[in-house]
C-alpha cells in the first residue's frame, strides 16, 4: 500500500534526499542509506516510462522496494510520451510508491538524443504536458528534477513555473546547465532565486560532499539532495541530517543522546570501523540480487570504499575481480 500521508509540502524540513543515480541507487544502496539515516528520502534509478508502459521485466523489477525499510520511496522516470507517462504513473502508484519524480536533467548523450532528460528544458510545452499527464493519473505527488537550463540559467524560473502550474509539487535543481555536464562548480544562486518565485518545496543539488557543504548551501531552500558525494561515504548522509537539524534549530530535533549514538555508529574514522557497513552493503546486494549479479554490481561501490590507506590500491584491484561474498570478506578483512 502507498503511504498516503506523504506530501512534499508537509514533509519535515530541511529535507535530505539521496539523488537518483543510474547503476547506483538500487534497493541495496537505498536500504543501506536508510539504515544510516532513516530521515533521508530515497529515489530509484531513473526508469523508462516506455519500458514500464510495456511491462519490461527488468524495469519492473527495479521498482520493487521494501516498504518497511525504504519509505518515503520515490520512483524516478524519464520519457517523452504523455500517454506512456499516464499508464506508467498508474502502475507505479499501484506498486505502492510514495511519489513519482520526472527526470528533466540527465545530460547523457544517449538520453538527450532521444529527447529525454535535459532535452525537455528546450521544450517547456512538452515538459508541462508530461507533468500534467502524470499528475492527473495518480493521487501520489509528482515532482521534477532538472538543471539550471540548457545553456543559460535565465530560463530556470519560467520553466519551473510552468511545471508548477502543471501540477509539480516539488522541484530538485542541479546547479549546472546541460552544457556544463558535470564540469566546473555547481552554481546555487539561481536555485535560491527560483525558491523566491515558486510556491512548492525546492531542493538544491550539486557538489555536496560534507555536512559543512550542506549547511553552507541550503540558505532559503527546503532541502538538499546528495549524489556523488555519497560514493564510498554513505555515512555522510547521517552527518548532513544532523548538521542541518542543528543549524535549523527547529522541527523534530534529535536529542543529544540520539545524536551521540549516531555519531558513534555512523561516523567511522578508520577503514576497520567502516568494515561492518561495507560488508552489510555486500550482504544486502547478494540477498536482493543473488550472489553473481550482486557482487558484480558491488564492484563500483567497493572501489569507492577502498581508498586512502596503505595497501588500498592492491586491495581495490583484487576486489574488482571478486565474484563471491566470502571472497570479498577475505580480501576486506585480510
Cβ–Cβ under 8 Å, residues 152 and 121: no
Placement of cell 502508484 in the chain: 93
CB atoms closer than 10 angstroms to residue 185: 10
CA distances (Å), origin 172, targets 44, 195, 322, 330: 15, 11, 36, 41
Q: How far apart are CA 140 and CA 136, in angstroms?
A: 10
Q: What phi-psi label fits residue 19: left (phi over 0), alpha (psi between -120 and 50 degrees) or beta? A: beta
The answer to whether residue 106 is catalytic is yes
- Cβ–Cβ < 8 Å for 52, 92: yes
CA separation (Å) from 310 to 137, 307, 313? 55, 9, 8
Catalytic site residue from 106, 160, 249, 333: 106
Q: Which residues contact 28 (CB under 8 A, 6 or more apart)?
A: 281, 284, 285, 287, 288, 289, 294
Residue with cell 541495496: 28
CB 28 within 8 A of CB 284: yes
Catalytic site positions: 106
Amino acid at each position: 500500500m502507498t503511504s498516503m500521508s506523504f506530501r512534499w509540502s508537509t514533509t519535515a524540513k530541511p529535507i535530505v534526499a539521496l539523488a537518483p543515480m543510474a547503476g547506483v541507487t538500487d534497493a541495496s544502496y537505498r536500504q543501506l542509506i536508510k539504515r544510516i539515516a532513516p530521515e533521508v528520502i530515497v529515489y530509484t534509478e531513473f526508469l523508462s516510462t516506455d519500458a514500464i508502459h510495456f511491462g519490461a521485466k527488468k524495469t519492473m523489477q527495479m521498482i520493487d522496494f521494501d516498504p518497511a525499510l525504504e519509505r518515503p520511496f520515490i520512483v524516478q522516470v524519464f520519457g517523452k510520451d504523455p500517454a506512456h507517462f499516464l499508464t506508467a504513473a498508474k502502475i507505479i502508484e499501484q506498486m505502492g510508491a510514495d511519489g513519482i519524480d520526472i527526470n528533466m536533467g540527465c545530460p547523457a548523450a544517449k538520453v538527450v538524443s532521444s529527447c529525454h532528460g535535459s532535452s525537455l528544458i528546450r521544450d517547456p510545452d512538452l515538459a508541462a504536458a508530461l507533468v500534467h499527464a502524470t499528475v492527473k493519473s495518480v493521487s501520489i505527488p509528482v515532482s521534477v528534477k532538472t538543471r539550471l537550463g540548457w545553456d543559460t540559467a535565465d530560463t530556470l524560473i519560467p520553466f519551473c513555473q510552468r511545471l508548477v502550474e502543471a501540477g509539480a509539487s516539488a522541484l530538485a535543481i542541479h546547479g549546472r546547465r546541460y552544457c556544463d555536464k558535470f564540469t566546473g562548480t555547481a552554481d546555487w544562486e539561481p536555485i535560491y532565486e527560483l525558491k523566491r518565485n515558486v510556491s512548492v518545496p525546492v531542493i538544491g543539488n550539486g557538489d555536496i560532499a560534507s555536512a559543512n557543504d550542506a549547511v553552507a548551501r541550503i540558505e532559503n531552500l527546503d532541502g538538499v539532495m546528495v549524489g556523488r558525494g555519497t560514493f564510498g561515504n554513505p555515512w555522510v548522509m547521517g552527518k548532513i541530517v544532523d548538521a542541518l537539524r542543528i543549524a535549523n534549530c527547529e522541527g523534530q530535533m534529535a536529542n543529544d543522546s540520539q545524536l551521540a549514538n549516531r555519531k558513534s555508529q555512523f561516523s567511522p574514522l578508520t577503514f576497520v570501523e567502516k568494515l561492518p557497513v561495507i560488508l552489510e552493503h555486500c550482504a544486502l546486494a547478494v540477498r536482493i540480487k543473488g550472489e553473481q549479479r550482486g557482487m558484480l554490481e558491488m564492484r563500483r561501490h567497493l572501489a569507492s570504499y577502498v581508498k586512502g590507506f596503505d595497501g588500498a590500491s592492491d586491495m581495490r584491484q583484487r576486489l574488482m575481480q571478486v565474484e563471491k561474498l566470502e571472497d570479498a570478506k577475505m580480501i576486506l578483512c585480510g
